[in-house]
Amino acid sequence: MKGEIFGLPSDCILGIPSIRTIGDTAIEIMNYGGLRACSPSQIVLNTKIGELVVGGEALGISEINSEGIRIEGKINRIIYG
């Protein structure tokens, strides 16, 4: 199947981020490399393909572990930079 390596999703094998958005109120990011900055208006994550910036209002981290991070608030932009 396209997007798979050895029957596994390519994001798992290559360690690239996988992003799931839930409307404009939450985002879940798997395979991130660490938290670089955090404020109510912007959260910056390190990834294997560069920085990932989540911007918005009243942002906060509702869950974080070695596998992923969940950010909640009013999300109005997601930027790779």
The 3-state secondary structure of 11-63 reads HHHHCCCEEEEECCCEEEEECCCEEEEEECCEEEEEECCEEEEEEEEEEEEEE
Our count of domains for the chain comes to 1
58: phi then psi, degrees, rounded to nearest 5: 55, 40
The residue range of the domain holding 42 is 19-80
Q: How confident is the prediction for the chain on average, in pLDDT? A: 89
Q: What is the pLDDT of residue 67?
A: 87
Q: pTM of the predicted model, to two decimals? A: 0.83
Q: Is the pLDDT of residue 9 over 90?
A: no
Question: Comparing C-alpha atoms, which of 9, 8, 5 is closest to residue 18?
Answer: 9
Residue 4 lies in a domain: no
d(CA 31, CA 47): 7
Residue 49 lies in a domain: yes
